[in-house]
Amino acid sequence: MQLVQCTSTGQNGWLALRRQLWPEGSPDEHLAEMQVLLDQPGRFFQLVAYEDDRQPAGFVEAALRTDYVNGTDTSPVAFVEGIYVAPAFRRHGIGTLLVAAVVTWAKACACTELASDALLDNAASQAMHRALGFEETERVVFFRKLIP
C-alpha cells in the first residue's frame, strides 16, 4: 500500500474515488473543488491510497478549521472532510493508514484534535469512525427558515 499526496486534479483515481463518495456532484464541480484544495496547501491535505499495482483503493481529504467545530475544545482543529475506501479494499487497514497520515499532518500543524462528522442515518460511516478511534461527541439537527 502506498499513500500519495494529491498535487494535481489529474491524479490517478482521486476524481473517481471522490465521485463514489459524493455521487451528487458533477465531474466539473468535483474538479473545481479539488483545485480549491490544491490552491491552499497550508489549509488542506489530501491523499490517495494505491494498491501495489497502483490501483486507487481509497482517499482522504482533511482541512484545518479555525471556526468552531462541534465537540472540540481547541483551534485550529484538523477535520476529516471526506474519507472513502473502495468496497473491494475495505477491512484491509486502508482507512487506518489514511487517518494515521492525517494525524501526522495535523500534529505538524500544531493541532491537538482531529474531528469529523457523519449523517445521523449513516450507520456505516458512524461505525467506521468508531473503528478508526473517533469518539462521538454530540448529535445535531440543523434547521433553517427562509426569509422572504
Residue 71's domain comprises 2-131
Structural domain contains residue 113: yes
pLDDT of 52 strictly over 90: no
Structural domain contains residue 28: yes
pTM of the model: 0.91
- The pLDDT value recorded for residue 57 is 97
- The beta-strand segments (E) located in 2-94 are 2-5, 44-50, 56-65, 77-85
Structural domains counted in the chain: 1
Give the pLDDT band (50/70/90) at residue 89: very high
Give the pLDDT band (50/70/90) at residue 22: very high
Structural domain contains residue 137: no
Q: Which grid coordinates are listed for 55?
A: 490501483
- The pLDDT value recorded for residue 53 is 82
**pLDDT tens track for 33-42:** 999 999 999 9
- The pLDDT value recorded for residue 141 is 84
Structural domain contains residue 114: yes
Average pLDDT in the chain: 94
Structural domain contains residue 141: no
**pLDDT tens track for 67-78:** 989 889 999 999
Structural domain contains residue 86: yes
**Where residue 81 sits, what CATH number does that domain have?**
3.40.630.30
What is the percentage of the chain residues whose pLDDT exceeds 70? 100
62: which residues sit within 8 A by CB, 6+ positions away? 44, 45, 46, 78, 79, 80, 81, 102, 105, 106
- The pLDDT value recorded for residue 84 is 95
**pLDDT tens track for 93-144:** 999 999 999 999 999 999 999 999 999 999 999 999 999 999 999 988 888 8
Rounded Cα distance between 36 and 34, Å, is 5
CB atoms within 10 A of CB 85: 24
120: which residues sit within 8 A by CB, 6+ positions away? 139, 141
Structural domain contains residue 145: no
- The pLDDT value recorded for residue 98 is 97
Structural domain contains residue 142: no
